[in-house]
Amino acid sequence: MATELKMPALSPTMEEGTLAKWLVKEGDDVKSGDILAEIETDKATMEFEAVDEGKIAKILVPEGTDGVKVGQPIALLAADGEAVSDAPAAPGKAEEPAAQAPQPAEQKEEATPTPHVFETAARDLVADVANTVDEPEVLEGTPLVSTTVREALRDAMAEEMRKDDRVFVMGEEVAQYQGAYKVTQGLLDEFGPRRVIDTPITEYGFAGLGSGAAMGGLRPIVEFMTFNFAMQAIDHIINSAAKTNYMSGGQMRCPIVFRGPNGAAARVGAQHSQNYGPWYASVPGLIVIAPYSASDAKGLLKAAIRSEDPVVFLENELLYGQHFDVPQMDDYVLPIGKARIVRPGKDVTIVSYSIGVGVALEAAQELMGQGINAEVIDLRTLRPLDKATVLESLKRTNRMIVVEEGWPTCSISSEIIAIAMTEGFDDLDAPVLRVTNVDVPLPYAANLEKLALIKASDVVEAAKAVCYR
Amino acid sequence: MARSAKTKAAASAAPQIPNRERPAEPKRYKATKDELLQFYREMLLIRRFEERAGQLYGLGLIGGFCHLYIGQEAVAVGLQSAMTVGKDSVITGYRDHGHMLAYGIDPKVIMAELTGRAAGISKGKGGSMHMFSVEHGFYGGHGIVGAQVSLGTGLALKHKYSEDGGVCLTYFGDGAVNQGQVYESFNMAQLWDLPVIYAIENNKYAMGTSIERSSSEPLLYKRGESFRIPGIQVDGMDVLAVRGAAEVALEWTRAGKGPIIIEFLTYRYRGHSMSDPAKYRSREEVQDYREHHDPIDRVSKELEAMGVKEEELKAIDKEIKDIVVEAAKFAEEAPEPDPGELHTDVLVETY
């Protein structure tokens, strides 16, 4: 009669969690909506609510247990004995939520399938990233610390805020909520509400306020919960921030950083899944950065905050939780506008940026097994684009493909192909190919999403094609 | 049409109108037993549907974002019950499952959209936030906060333009009220006397930011004042108060008096989305709403007072449970979209 309560999947990326606290004990009666336990996911502490009604018969996993796998039974719920078996339609009182009560056999069956994390092609992208190693550019002997991209971004902001009182952060849920994606975690505690400012949901307004504050001499970091919402604010990013210096004949600057996650996440549908890299990279007056690794995220965000120019800093939600080595240095700042060869090779150049780098590196590993030694370039900055590094690599490999988690038309890959055509034509032994998302709004259904996003296997195929293999 | 409205405004622009017409004070709707039973059934359907959706999310069958409507059922049910399918239009944000259910859209095709299946109302291509039924005059399901306010105002423009007698019911939340486009839309709606009901579902938290922390004027029904749009505040946890307000708003808009704002004070029991830990409010606050202000409990008590037997309510509970179980089963078993669907519906025509 007892129903197993299983460790739930409480976030899209959760595989296991910590059972932080039980809020019920054995023998307690629970009904739908009661909070049974607090569970720490990879993102936050979540409350686990009862769906079924009954009595907690046994607690199988004590509180404080780490690494409880999603789907593992954590407690046994006994149905309310007689009342349940006699009256399967409803429990005692009419106003008590009744529908989820664990009752008839056929319903119990379906109430207890094993929880699992939902299907999404995003997981393959993350797996590609996790499979790769990033070696940051530092002097030998510098200690490296494994850091998530999320922490690296936070550290960059905190360090610059300590150094310069003009720097402040503004955006939705950046302060008290500790960041919608926890990137600003802890900043409010350290810097207080004067410098870590929660805004209403009013992107156009606060992008304009930030731009004005920058014109007036402050150094705002404006966080967009995602760049999808920045479309509400794009007028200020382009017409106000990007063009001011030029229009004023160099009198008035707008040193601001617009940052936030960009690109596809996990099954969030068409309106929340878009790569704006090509959009912003087409605008003179803007700096556009889209890092891959945690060390680049840190070093380039620090550089962005210090820049006298407006910077669009495109992060990636799927990368936030990924660990990379970050050099332990007092002031790790990287140059804007410099690409990086993340994997040297000689047979074909794979150019990418942001999460596409992980896919390219995964493909490079596979290609190595097939006798093709691929060089992988991370553009890191999309504007100004480091043509020299790309062309120099092309000169050595004579073959190139571009990998972009975004649409193909009028894209960064279009631009790279144009550069190869106009400035590297004599070095090309094959046409440049590109691997991009399919040219449709991103679908929600798991199978269609998988078809729409870039895959390492497609990169392998493209690389073989340009090598005529 | 816009011209005539302008002329009228210009003529009266010089001296301020001191006591312009206001809508009547709404009264609690006097529902018959059958009507109230129907409200009960619909609210319970939303509650059970959303609980099941939350469960399917935990099981990995629903992905991405999933915003549950639990606690706010009275608003959608009270308002939707007053609308005329085939004549009026409705539009809302991403917390949209309840509005569709209250409009009589088949729970099976809604749940199948949540699980991303071909049988879903958007063929599995939209997901929780992006569901539409033109047949019902339900225009979505929009993922960008505030966007539906301008779109809804445009739907109202259509009603006026084609003189079809319809009204657009535009839902948005206390988060969206601070978006600039809301006020640009208010201005045009009043300027052109558009038949639009702005239904503000004030559930007190825009994700994690409370109304007091986000809004300089937290009395949201007043937000239309400087545009001359009248506003009313209503208890959104009372389906009959909601329906009563809907009557007033429909009378106002159908009479060609332009837009109206109704602020519904409501509450969501769950987090903003499935991945929101909701640490910005106390457990006691949530519990207080559940125990003392629950819209479904309230109706069941009124029904009992009207002489409806407990067994009758239990029978409805059972009926609703079966509908939801069936919808979930359908949504789990329905096949995924055909891979060819990846490329369909991008454009209407071929070029």
What is the tens place of the pLDDT at every residue in A373-416? 999 999 999 999 999 999 999 999 999 999 999 999 999 999 99
| A268 with B127: Cβ contact below 8 A | yes
Name the segment(s) of chain A with CATH classification 3.40.50.970: 140-327
| B209 with A176: Cβ contact below 8 A | yes
Min CA distance, A416 vs chain B (Å)? 26
Q: What is the pLDDT of residue A30?
A: 86
Q: What is the pLDDT of residue A9?
A: 76
Q: Is residue B290, in this structure, part of any structural domain at all?
A: yes
| B209 with A173: Cβ contact below 8 A | yes
Backbone phi, then psi, for B300, in 5-degree steps? -65, -35
B126 in contact with A at a CB cutoff of 8 Å?
Answer: yes
Min CA distance, A376 vs chain B (Å)? 30
Spatial contact of A436 and A385, defined as CB atoms under 8 Å apart = no
Looking at domain A340-466, which of 2.60.40.1930, 3.40.50.920, 3.30.1330.10, 2.40.340.10 is its CATH number?
3.40.50.920
Which residues in chain B have their CB less than 8 angstroms from residue A9's CB?
Answer: 57-60
| A99 with B314: Cβ contact below 8 A | no
B308 in contact with A at a CB cutoff of 8 Å?
Answer: no
Q: How far apart are CA A361 and CA A214, in angstroms?
A: 38
The neighbouring-strand residues paired with A69 are: A16
Backbone phi, then psi, for B108, in 5-degree steps? -65, -45
Q: What's the rounded mean pLDDT across residues B68-93?
A: 96
User: What one-character-per-residue DSSP string does B7-46 give?
Assistant: HHHHHT-SSPPTT---PPPP------HHHHHHHHHHHHHH
B210 in contact with A at a CB cutoff of 8 Å?
Answer: no
* B222 pLDDT more than 60: yes
Q: Least CA distance to B118: which residue of chain A?
A: A445
Which residues in chain A have their CB less than 8 angstroms from residue B116's CB?
Answer: 267, 444-448
Min CA distance, A234 vs chain B (Å)? 13
Which superfamily is assigned to A140-327 in CATH? Thiamin diphosphate (ThDP)-binding fold, Pyr/PP domains (3.40.50.970)
Q: Is residue B18, in this structure, part of any structural domain at all?
A: no
Residue to mutate among A31, A202, A209, A231, with most B CBs inside 10 A, is A202
Q: What is the pLDDT of residue B275?
A: 78
Q: What is the pLDDT of residue A115?
A: 67
Q: Least CA distance to B70: which residue of chain A?
A: A33
| A441 with B346: Cβ contact below 8 A | yes
Q: Least CA distance to B346: which residue of chain A?
A: A440
Which residues in chain A have their CB less than 8 angstroms from residue B45's CB?
Answer: none
User: Tokens representing A2?
Assistant: 């007892």
Q: Which of A160, A203, A375, A405 is catalytic?
A: A203
| B336 with A115: Cβ contact below 8 A | no
Q: Least CA distance to B65: which residue of chain A?
A: A268
Q: Least CA distance to B304: which residue of chain A?
A: A94
Quick one: DSSP state of residue A115?
Answer: P
CB neighbours of residue A104 within 10 Å: 12
Q: What is the pLDDT of residue A301?
A: 98
The verdict on whether A272 is a catalytic residue reads yes
Q: How far apart are CA B195 and CA B88, in angstroms?
A: 10
Q: Least CA distance to B62: which residue of chain A?
A: A118
Residue to mutate among A32, A201, A206, with most B CBs inside 10 A, is A201
**Cα-trace Rg, chain A:** 25
The verdict on whether A236 is a catalytic residue reads no
Q: Which of A272, A366, A423, A461 is catalytic?
A: A272
ipTM attached to this prediction: 0.85
Closest CB to A447: pick one of B215, B296, B339.
Answer: B339
Strands A257-261 and A287-289: unpaired
Q: Is residue B127, in this structure, part of any structural domain at all?
A: yes
B140 in contact with A at a CB cutoff of 8 Å?
Answer: no
Q: What is the pLDDT of residue A81?
A: 52
Residue to mutate among B45, B47, B50, B55, with most A CBs inside 10 A, is B55
Residue to mutate among A21, A48, A118, with most B CBs inside 10 A, is A118
Give the model's confidence band at B120: pLDDT under 50 very low, under 70 low, under 90 confident, else very high.
very high
Residues 6+ apart with CB under 8 A from A439: A407, A408, A409, B346
Which residues in chain B have their CB less than 8 angstroms from residue A35's CB?
Answer: 283
Quick one: DSSP state of residue A38?
Answer: E
| A198 with B213: Cβ contact below 8 A | yes
Q: What is the pLDDT of residue A189?
A: 97
Indicate the number of domains in chain B.
Answer: 1
* B181 pLDDT more than 90: yes
Q: Is residue B150, in this structure, part of any structural domain at all?
A: yes
Give pLDDT tens digits for A27-57: 998 877 678 888 887 667 777 877 777 889 9
Name the segment(s) of chain A with CATH classification 2.40.50.100: 3-111
| A115 with B146: Cβ contact below 8 A | no
| A201 with B175: Cβ contact below 8 A | yes
Q: How far apart are CA A361 and CA B75, in angstroms?
A: 51
| B337 with A266: Cβ contact below 8 A | no
Here the CATH number for the domain that contains residue B145 is 3.40.50.970
Model confidence, pTM: 0.85
Neighbour-count burial of B3, counting CB atoms closer than 10 A to its CB (0-12 exposed, 13-18 middle, 19+ buried): exposed
Q: Is A441 helix (H, G, I), strand (E, B) or coil?
A: coil
Q: What is the pLDDT of residue B338?
A: 97
Spatial contact of A357 and A326, defined as CB atoms under 8 Å apart = no
B72 in contact with A at a CB cutoff of 8 Å?
Answer: no
Q: What is the pLDDT of residue A89?
A: 39
Domain that holds residue B154: 40-326
Of A167, A162, A183, the C-alpha closest to A255 is A167
Percent of chain B clearing pLDDT 90 (strictly above):
87
A–B interface: beta-carbon pairs under 8 A: 227
Q: How far apart are CA B74 and CA A304, in angstroms?
A: 48
Q: How far apart are CA A79 and CA A3, in angstroms?
A: 8
Q: What is the pLDDT of residue A102?
A: 37
Q: A3-111 maps to which CATH number?
A: 2.40.50.100
The label of the residue with tokens 């009666």 reads: A29
> Which parts of chain A have pLDDT scores under 50?
82-111
Of A323, A245, A312, A308, the C-alpha closest to A279 is A312
Of B27, B24, B23, the C-alpha closest to B244 is B27
Percent of chain B clearing pLDDT 70 (strictly above):
95
Q: Is residue B33, in this structure, part of any structural domain at all?
A: no
Sign (positive or negative) of CA dihedral A221, A224, A230, A233 = negative
